[in-house]
């Protein structure tokens, strides 16, 4: 850290001549300021893990000096196993992540490196939870008499009409 000092100077002033006195300075007093590192706690992911939905990285910011949060750094990762290796998703550096088909079947992690408003940097912390993105599906759509066109067309939630199945296929 850079050394800083406090110096106090007084210039006496009089209503009589001479009006200005000789400035007097105090001795240099060293000022030490330790900017404690901020911390991110309870780092987690919230939201649905279905195609097109938005996940949100959440955490509580804490700073031992009471400094406000600055521009913390965010990263998202995908992995093939919840407890396996994860790779950073390029260009995903906000608190939110849109689920796209490339993430189907993958596990997701969120990371935050907390920064305070005075450039204090804390330790990067990854989310404790690693939700699995739902698979894009089997390529099958199901229609049943007791189905509903508001369903997703899966075996357990079939569509009611062939038209809805056709329109869903065209939208893929």
Per-residue pLDDT of 22-58, as tens digits, reads: 889 989 888 776 788 999 999 999 998 888 889 999 9
Tell me what percent of the residues of the chain surpass a pLDDT of 70. 94
Q: What is the pLDDT of residues 83-117, one digit of tens each?
A: 889 999 999 999 999 988 888 889 999 999 999 99
Q: From CA 106, how far away is CA 137, in angstroms rounded? A: 13
| 137 pLDDT more than 60 | no
Distance separating alpha carbons of residues 32 and 50, to the nearest angstrom: 51
Of residues 134, 137, 146, 75, the one with CA closest to residue 105: 134
Per-residue model confidence (pLDDT) at position 3: 67
| Residue 33 exposed, middle or buried by CB count within 10 Å (0-12, 13-18, 19+) | exposed
**What rounded mean pLDDT belongs to the chain?**
88
Residue 131 has a CB neighbour count (10 Å cut-off) of: 20
pLDDT at residue 70 tops 70: yes
d(CA 92, CA 142): 35
Give pTM, 2 decimals.
Answer: 0.63
Of 82, 90, 92, the residue nearest 54 (C-alpha): 92
């Amino acid at each position: 850290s850079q050394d800083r000092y406090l110096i106090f100077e007084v210039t006496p002033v009089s209503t009589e001549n001479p009006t200005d006195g000789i400035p007097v300075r105090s001795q240099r007093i060293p000022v030490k300021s330790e900017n404690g590192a901020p911390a991110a706690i309870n780092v987690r992911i919230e939201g649905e893990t279905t195609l097109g939905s938005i996940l949100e990285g959440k955490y509580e910011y804490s700073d031992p000096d009471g400094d406000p949060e600055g521009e913390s750094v965010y990263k998202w990762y995908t992995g093939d196993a919840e407890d396996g290796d994860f790779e950073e998703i390029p260009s995903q550096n906000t608190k939110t992540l849109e689920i796209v088909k490339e993430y189907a079947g993958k596990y997701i992690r969120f990371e935050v490196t907390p920064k305070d408003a005075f450039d204090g940097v804390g330790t990067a912390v990854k989310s404790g939870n690693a939700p699995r993105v739902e698979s894009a599906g089997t390529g099958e759509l199901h229609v049943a008499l007791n189905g509903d066109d508001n369903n997703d067309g899966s075996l357990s939630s079939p569509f009611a009409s062939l038209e809805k199945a056709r329109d869903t296929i065209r939208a893929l």
